[in-house]
Structure 1
Amino acid sequence: MRADTDYRDSHVLIIKPGCDSSVARGSLPFPLRYAGPVDSPLALPRPQTPGPRILLVDDDPGVLKGLRGLLSDEGFSPMEARSTAEAVRLLDAPGPPLALMLLDLRMPGETGLELLARLPRPLPVPVVVLSGEASPAEAVQALKLGATDFVEKPPSPERLLTALRNALALSELREEQQRLQEELARPGHLVGDSAAMESLRRLIARVAPSDTAILITGETGTGKERVARALHLASGRKGRLVAVNCAAIPATLLESELFGHERGAFSGATARRLGRIEQAHGGTLFLDELGDMPLELQAKLLRVLETKEVERLGGGLPVTVNVRVLAATHRDLALAVREGRFRQDLYFRLNVLPLALPPLRERPEDILPLARAFAAELAGANVPLVLAPGAEEALRAWPWPGNVRELRNFIERQNLLRGDGPLTLAPESLAGPAPLTAESPSRLVLGQKSYREHVDDFERTLIKAALKEGGSIAGAARLLQVDRGNLHRRLKALGIPAA
């Protein structure tokens, strides 16, 4: 935290228990006046308006007086309490949250260590331990109970101010991580500071209230479903958001899944079943990977969009539905139309309001905000995210072929490996298979392998990378846009282990 940070909205609780029995009552056991320059990195700000409230808890009036003088000089607004019970009462009092606790381990009656142990978890404020008599074991125990620092008495003013500054910085960090965690957990929230994301958020706000169908395009892992959720939340529609992954449902079952069926419509149809379109009545239907929908179903979907009616399999009369349709694909639907794999009339019907999500490599300024948000989500608000030297540059330089999903997987992997310490990102953490690119002719050694062997080598590398990114054969098949059975056969032919 810089010395020019404004703490006027912060509130600090300092509980300085127990007096040193060797010190006479009314005297201060350590000097507290800090004579350093105002622009010293140790000097805390001196705002004209009342600064952060600091609660000083001590049974020694002399210690309270000394702390009050130092902290008043440094721009704080000290408060006082002379017991842990009074400190707890002030902790629970209504008002802005407190930001810091300075806790002596030796208090008459209830000790500081006992108070620290009975405070709720996570601790309501960062805790700095202050004591002149505590044993090393007690100090270690206090740190295990959540204290962020230990200051021995008598402390120098510089040491005390540094501890305060670090604790305030930790408090702000935790608040920011909590905010990011809450924002990320909120459905539909879109993290990112880039101009592309700002433009996308503005466009979502503008088009969400409309009932017009929207086509969301972008590479795999860019967050198309999250955009669909944002559109639904901003639309004001009171019904559900019903999502269907057209690529994950076999073509033979997709029609019944979407349109529903009547009893006896086909073998095994023992009861009426409402399809996803009817389930989304009053809300939004999200068709993910629409480019994988069979042509015959595309015609039925077009009819629903045009008539607002759906016919169940085996049914008679159509059912009127009030549904807003959002569709997403990573495929080039315009190319699919030219090749006869996608209906032109459905493409035009859906492409009235196209939303294109740029890949993560084209918006590197979003990488760190996303990494912080994922770290807060996966590791918790109390675990700081630490960037080792060179990590930010490495994160920005990495091509992220799996986009936001790959970044989240990377943060999750680092969190699983971190142990009990902070979540640290280092440049070497990104080491792995190099991104697949077309190898230049100058790097190929021609004449030593046949054309088929070169092709097999590249295919082997491609499939291994897809298996690593997709996490399974099914995931790799989706990334490579191939049939899972065909991929199984290629694994066997190329000698690649299936697991």
Structure 2
Amino acid sequence: MKPGLRVLVVDDDSGVLKALRGLLGDEGFTVLEASSATEASRLLLDASTPPPALMLLDLRMPGETGLELLARLPRPLPAPVVVLSGEASPAEAVQALKLGATDFVEKPPSPERLLTAIRNALALDTLREERERLLGELARPGHLVGDSPAMESLRQLITRVGPRDTAVLITGETGTGKERVSRALHLASGRKGRLVAVNCAAIPATLLESELFGHEKGAFSGALSRRVGRIEQAQGGTLLLDEVGDMPLELQAKLLRVLETKEVERLGGTTPVPVDVRILAATHQDLSRGVKEGRFRQDLYFRLNVLPLQVPPLRERLEDLLPLARAFAAEFAGPHVSLELQPGAEAALRAYSWPGNVRELRNVVERANLLRGDGPLTLSAASLGAPTAPARGPSPKLSEKSYREHVEDFERDLIRAALQEGESIAGAARLLQVDRGNLYRRIRALGLPVT
């Protein structure tokens, strides 16, 4: 840890402040102190000084609690957070971690436990910053991988339209790289805020409104504190509405109002909040068809489709196969491991239809890396085969499982197949003719991954 790093200690107990001041000072930290959430918020969000390197936050304080402060801070959090409490319930500890805290330390903390939590939080923050830096470098228009004329045209278009605040509708098949294109547009914009992405198909309709617009304390059952929505989190930056075609109609009307007024109103709120956000939308659907079928508002479609940007499928830009494969090999195996093609591999790559596009190619390279030894990462014609399912033993006797367990096994297989064919929770819900929220809850109950 670098000496002189500033740590903000937030606690209403003067004895705790004094003890932590001594401990952290002995370790070379510069200590800032706040005895209330209001004072902590002022120190964290003061634009005239850089934020502290870390915040130690007491959960139980008079007035606004530590949890309430944590809930209303902008995302990403201005600084990594380690929470302290001697009275918090397990539910409060879990809630603090869900709101972004890195660790939970019970009072009175031992010096060793507290310093370990601080070191881990700072290390994780460094890794996060490095990841964001690398993602940003990869997504710059000049770094979008591919030698095809289609990709060169895409890079030129991003360079031209990136600095404008115009809404952009990014279309393309699943797996073509629409999110990377959106990141390139954000970087080309020069906006100082962050890129905030929301997958409209992955969040249940009942939760999506609160996720986008935020809510005030007491707006609904379970709203224990104010929460800033994704639109506000993108203040000064860019909001990506991924799979926007799956947004419910009633939320489409609210989004249209945000675009028109440049204001957002939280659930349960009465005062509109001005926002400066550039909107990008992405979808693999034909939104014009959605308009004709009554699934998508025509006025919102026109608002989002000011500048359409099509990302071509991989089968239409085969020149990009090898550059992309080499980029993925460097990602998984490191820049010093070479990518080698066995005889016939390049022809097989070019002959394959790539229904999963760039995402499928990435999976192929990742699988080859997992199976390689100490040598180069090698692709063969066989690399394109679907992963072989583990061999199963004899079918279990009916008596080996209960009726409920047999039914749940069948249900898992059915939902997996629907998710694969439908390409999203919303698509799977349409195939199975069930409510998306109910399907989402069933997926969680069955222990299936939520993608």
TM-score range, shorter chain: 0.5 to 0.7
Q: For 1:273, give the aligned amino acid.
A: R
Which residue is equivalent to 1:196?
150
Contact kept? 2:138, 2:144, Cα under 8 Å: no
1:251 to 197, 201, 205: 205
Which residue is equivalent to 2:432?
486
1:390 to 338, 344, 347: 344
C-alpha distance in structure 2 between counterparts of 1:191 and 1:184, whole Å: 13
The runs of 5 or more residues in structure 2 that have no matched partner are 1-132, 388-411, 440-447
Which residue is equivalent to 1:277?
231
> 1:483 is paired with a residue of what secondary structure?
helix
C-alpha distance in structure 2 between counterparts of 1:484 and 1:294, whole Å: 13
Q: For 2:271, give the aligned amino acid.
A: L
The runs of 5 or more residues in structure 1 that have no matched partner are 1-180, 434-462, 491-497
C-alpha distance in structure 1 between counterparts of 2:183 and 2:136, whole Å: 13
Which residue is equivalent to 1:205?
159
Instruction: From the superposition, tell whether residues 479 and 300 of structure 1 become closer, same or farther in structure 2 (CA, over 3 Å).
Output: closer
Instruction: From the superposition, tell whether residues 349 and 319 of structure 1 become closer, same or farther in structure 2 (CA, over 3 Å).
Output: same
1:319 to 256, 273, 277: 273
Q: For 1:192, give the aligned amino acid.
A: G
Give how far 1:187 is off.
3.8
> 1:395 is paired with a residue of what secondary structure?
helix
1:425 to 360, 367, 379: 379
Q: What TM-score results when the alignment is normalised by the length of structure 2? A: 0.58
Give how far 1:182 is off.
6.8
Contact kept? 1:229, 1:241, Cα under 8 Å: yes
Which residue is equivalent to 2:138?
186
1:85-123 superposed Cα distances (whole Å, 9 cap, x missing partner): xxxxxxxxxxxxxxxxxxxxxxxxxxxxxxxxxxxxxxx
C-alpha distance in structure 2 between counterparts of 1:271 and 1:381, whole Å: 46
Which residue is equivalent to 1:336?
290
Instruction: From the superposition, tell whether residues 250 and 365 of structure 1 become closer, same or farther in structure 2 (CA, over 3 Å).
Output: same
C-alpha distance in structure 2 between counterparts of 1:200 and 1:314, whole Å: 42
Instruction: From the superposition, tell whether residues 304 and 191 of structure 1 become closer, same or farther in structure 2 (CA, over 3 Å).
Output: same
1:161-196 superposed Cα distances (whole Å, 9 cap, x missing partner): xxxxxxxxxxxxxxxxxxxx9799634441001111
Q: For 2:165, give the aligned amino acid.
A: D
Q: For 1:306, give the aligned amino acid.
A: E
Contact kept? 1:208, 1:234, Cα under 8 Å: yes
1:355 to 309, 321, 328: 309
Aligned residue pairs, count = 279
C-alpha distance in structure 1 between counterparts of 2:421 and 2:433, whole Å: 8
Q: What TM-score results when the alignment is normalised by the length of structure 1? A: 0.52
Give how far 1:397 is off.
1.0
> What are the residue-to-residue correspondences of 1:122-201 with 2, within 5 Å?
186-188=138-140, 189-201=143-155
> What are the residue-to-residue correspondences of 1:38-77 with 2, within 5 Å?
none
Contact kept? 2:201, 2:424, Cα under 8 Å: no
C-alpha distance in structure 1 between counterparts of 2:286 and 2:160, whole Å: 25
C-alpha distance in structure 2 between counterparts of 1:484 and 1:290, whole Å: 16
Which residue is equivalent to 1:298?
252
1:53-107 superposed Cα distances (whole Å, 9 cap, x missing partner): xxxxxxxxxxxxxxxxxxxxxxxxxxxxxxxxxxxxxxxxxxxxxxxxxxxxxxx
> 1:186 is paired with a residue of what secondary structure?
helix
Which residue is equivalent to 1:238?
192
Which residue is equivalent to 1:94?
none
CA RMSD of aligned residues (A): 2.9
Give how far 1:486 is off.
3.0
> 2:370 is paired with a residue of what secondary structure?
helix
Instruction: From the superposition, tell whether residues 285 and 432 of structure 1 become closer, same or farther in structure 2 (CA, over 3 Å).
Output: closer
Contact kept? 2:169, 2:308, Cα under 8 Å: yes
Instruction: From the superposition, tell whether residues 362 and 256 of structure 1 become closer, same or farther in structure 2 (CA, over 3 Å).
Output: same
**Greater radius of gyration (CA):** 1
Indicate the percent of aligned positions where both proteins have the same amino acid: 73
Which residue is equivalent to 2:300?
346
Which residue is equivalent to 1:415?
369
Q: For 2:307, give the aligned amino acid.
A: L
C-alpha distance in structure 2 between counterparts of 1:318 and 1:432, whole Å: 51
Contact kept? 2:418, 2:432, Cα under 8 Å: no
Q: For 1:482, give the aligned amino acid.
A: A
Give how far 1:228 is off.
0.5
> 2:423 is paired with a residue of what secondary structure?
helix
1:213-259 superposed Cα distances (whole Å, 9 cap, x missing partner): 11000000000000000000010000011110000100001001100
Which residue is equivalent to 1:120?
none
Structure with the larger helix share: 2
The answer to which of 184-193 and 287-296 deviates more is 184-193
